[in-house]
């Protein structure tokens, strides 16, 4: 702290030479002048003196015939003097630092990773309308609260983790996968059913299993409880412990599959680019430069977004989109029956492949493909065996209050 104050006030390093250097220093002490870091270097003495004492020291040097030479000037006053001609640059630099700090206090980007069953736009709309949005103060965002809201609102989310990095909110999502392989929850919680089905297997690693093989469960039923009850010889519960429930549960469930492909379709072929505009997004507002009216013609739009950022986590509320407009040729075409059936089979195979990637085993495929009017429709049911289980946090305080109220009623 003392060194910092010396830097703020400024000081100089002096070289003292002469036959009466000792007398010079004694005179400085008698006049209560501040000096420090006295060092002898060959025939001279180096000493640090405060900027305010420099005038009096020159008078003492004349009386003691001591030669003074300024070796170095240090501190903020000399720094300002040195860069006086660049004051505008220094001012702009300080303003930039202040703005950078202010920007770092707010949320400017939301990234969603791992979703498959829901569109990103749907998840983003829920997050921005119900909880967090661009420009919100980071200190007001509670990731644990957002995780619970997402798990409650989206049934197919088995696990959600939210983290704030820099000026970004990153939402990690896992859908219907073995929980033990994706996370280790630390808060007390239950594993509940996120769909109806018949239990085919259950392995409990932590908590109390409330179902067994062959049981039929409904959505919301507790499969593994995070409450462990300790009983005495009389089967009376004398203590309860709360743990994060953990285990592998598989269930036989049914998926309804419906797909429709119109036989007639339009193919849009780009011909040439006829216009380019630029959209500037700044603090939630946007302006399009060189915009034109395209309402009277058919076109294909290709855009590319350039986000201003520092590294991977510090995003700025500024981005630029390049929007390229292409004239196009629209051709009406029609699938043959064979082409439509091949396309329908490709859609079904893609749907089944996505299920398999989640650890789902398909045991029955009862989907039929048929032409109905001007459409080719695929409909039916897929019977599968899949991992189920969704985290539901336990409100331990509420549970303890309920127990206390129940015990008080019993004593009354």
For 178, phi then psi, to 5°, come to -55, 120
Asked whether residue 180 is domain-assigned, the answer is no
Q: Are residues 14 and 78 in the same domain?
A: yes
Q: Which of 148, 175, 202 is the last residue of a domain?
A: 175
Q: Residue 149 sits in a domain of what CATH number?
A: 3.10.20.310
Per-residue pLDDT at 116: 77
Q: Is the pLDDT of residue 179 over 50?
A: no
Pairing of strands 299-310, 368-372: unpaired
Q: Are residues 6 and 78 in the same domain?
A: yes
Per-residue pLDDT at 258: 92
- Tell me how many domains the chain contains: 5
Asked whether residue 379 is domain-assigned, the answer is yes
Share of the chain above pLDDT 90, in %: 15
Looking at residues 45-71, what average pLDDT do you find? 80
CA distance 364 to 253: 11
For 131, phi then psi, to 5°, come to -140, -70
Q: Are residues 281 and 271 in the same domain?
A: yes
C-alpha count within 13 angstroms, C-beta hemisphere, residue 52: 7
Q: Are residues 301 and 360 in the same domain?
A: no
Give me the chain's average pLDDT, please: 83
CA distance 212 to 196: 15
Asked whether residue 95 is domain-assigned, the answer is no
CB 159 within 8 A of CB 194: no
Q: Residue 8 sits in a domain of what CATH number?
A: 3.30.70.260
Q: Are residues 294 and 316 in the same domain?
A: yes
Residues 6+ apart with CB under 8 A from 226: 188, 189, 190, 206, 207, 242, 243, 244, 245, 394
pLDDT tens per residue, range 102-143: 988 999 989 998 887 788 888 988 888 877 888 889 888 888
CA distance 76 to 71: 17
Q: Is the pLDDT of residue 180 over 50?
A: no
Q: Are residues 285 and 241 in the same domain?
A: no
Rounded to the nearest 10°, the torsion over CA 328, 330, 336, 339 is 30
pLDDT tens per residue, range 80-91: 776 666 667 777
For the record, the structure tokens of 154 come out as 């989206």
pLDDT tens per residue, range 245-303: 888 899 999 999 999 989 888 888 888 888 888 999 888 788 888 888 877 778 888 88
Asked whether residue 8 is domain-assigned, the answer is yes
For the record, the structure tokens of 335 come out as 């699938």
Q: Are residues 223 and 197 in the same domain?
A: yes
Q: Which residues pair with 137 in a beta bridge?
A: 106
pLDDT band at 320 (very low <50, low <70, confident <90, very high): very high
Q: Are residues 7 and 75 in the same domain?
A: yes
Please choose, from the candidates 381, 155, 386, 364, the residue with its C-alpha nearest in 3D space to the C-alpha of residue 251.
386
User: Where would I find the H helices in 104-213?
Assistant: 120-130, 143-153
Overall pTM surpassing 0.85 (yes/no): no
Asked whether residue 300 is domain-assigned, the answer is yes
Pairing of strands 390-393, 222-225: unpaired
Q: Are residues 286 and 222 in the same domain?
A: no
- Measure the N-to-C terminal CA separation of the chain; round to a whole number of Å: 65
CB atoms within 10 A of CB 346: 10
Radius of gyration of the CA atoms of the chain, in A: 37
Q: Are residues 32 and 76 in the same domain?
A: yes
Asked whether residue 270 is domain-assigned, the answer is yes
Please choose, from the candidates 313, 281, 357, 310, the residue with its C-alpha nearest in 3D space to the C-alpha of residue 164.
313
Domain containing 155 equals 109-175
For 385, phi then psi, to 5°, come to -115, 120
Asked whether residue 229 is domain-assigned, the answer is yes
- Annotate 9-55 with DSSP letters as a single string: H-EEEEEEESTTHHHHHHHHHHTT--EEEEEEETTEEEEEEEGGGHH
Q: Are residues 247 and 394 in the same domain?
A: yes
Asked whether residue 148 is domain-assigned, the answer is yes
CB 104 within 8 A of CB 47: no
∠41-46-49 over CA atoms, to 5°? Answer: 175
Q: Are residues 361 and 289 in the same domain?
A: no
CA distance 84 to 144: 51
For the record, the structure tokens of 377 come out as 């429709």
């Amino acid at each position: 702290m003392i060194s910092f104050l010396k830097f703020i006030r400024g000081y100089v390093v002096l070289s003292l030479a002469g036959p009466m250097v000792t007398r010079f220093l004694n005179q400085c002490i008698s006049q209560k002048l501040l000096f420090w870091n006295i060092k002898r270097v060959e025939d001279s003495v180096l000493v640090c003196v405060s900027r305010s004492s420099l005038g009096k020291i020159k008078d003492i040097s004349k009386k003691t015939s001591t030669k003074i030479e300024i070796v170095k000037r240090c501190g903020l006053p000399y720094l300002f003097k040195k860069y006086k001609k660049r004051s505008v640059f220094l001012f702009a630099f300080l303003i930039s630092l202040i703005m950078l700090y202010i920007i770092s206090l707010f949320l400017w980007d939301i990234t969603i990773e791992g979703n498959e069953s829901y569109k990103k736009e749907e998840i983003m709309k829920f997050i921005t309308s119900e909880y967090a949005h661009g420009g919100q103060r980071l200190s007001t965002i509670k990731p644990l609260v957002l995780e619970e809201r997402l798990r409650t609102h989206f049934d197919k989310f088995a696990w959600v983790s939210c983290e704030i990095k820099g000026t970004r909110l990153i939402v990690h999502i896992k859908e219907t996968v073995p929980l033990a392989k994706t996370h280790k929850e630390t808060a007390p919680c239950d594993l509940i059913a996120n769909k109806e089905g018949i239990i085919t297997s259950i392995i409990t690693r932590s908590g109390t299993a409330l179902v067994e093989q062959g049981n039929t469960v409904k959505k919301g039923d507790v499969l593994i409880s995070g409450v462990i009850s300790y009983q005495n010889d009389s089967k009376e519960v004398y203590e309860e412990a709360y743990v994060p429930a953990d285990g592998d549960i598989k269930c036989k469930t049914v998926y309804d599959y419906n797909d429709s492909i119109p036989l007639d379709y339009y193919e849009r072929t780009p011909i040439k680019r006829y216009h380019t505009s630029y959209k500037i997004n700044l603090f939630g507002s946007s302006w399009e430069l060189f915009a034109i009216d395209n309402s009277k013609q058919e076109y294909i739009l290709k855009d590319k977004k350039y986000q201003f950022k520092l590294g991977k986590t510090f995003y700025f509320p500024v981005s630029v989109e390049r929007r390229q407009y292409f004239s196009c040729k629209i051709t009406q075409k029609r699938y043959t029956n064979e082409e439509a059936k091949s396309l329908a089979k490709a859609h079904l195979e893609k749907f089944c492949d996505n299920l398999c990637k989640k650890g789902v085993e398909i045991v029955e495929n009862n989907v039929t493909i048929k032409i109905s009017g001007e459409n080719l429709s695929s409909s039916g049911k897929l019977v599968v065996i899949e991992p189920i289980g969704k985290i539901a946090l336990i409100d331990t305080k509420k549970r303890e209050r309920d127990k206390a109220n129940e015990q008080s009623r019993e004593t009354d």
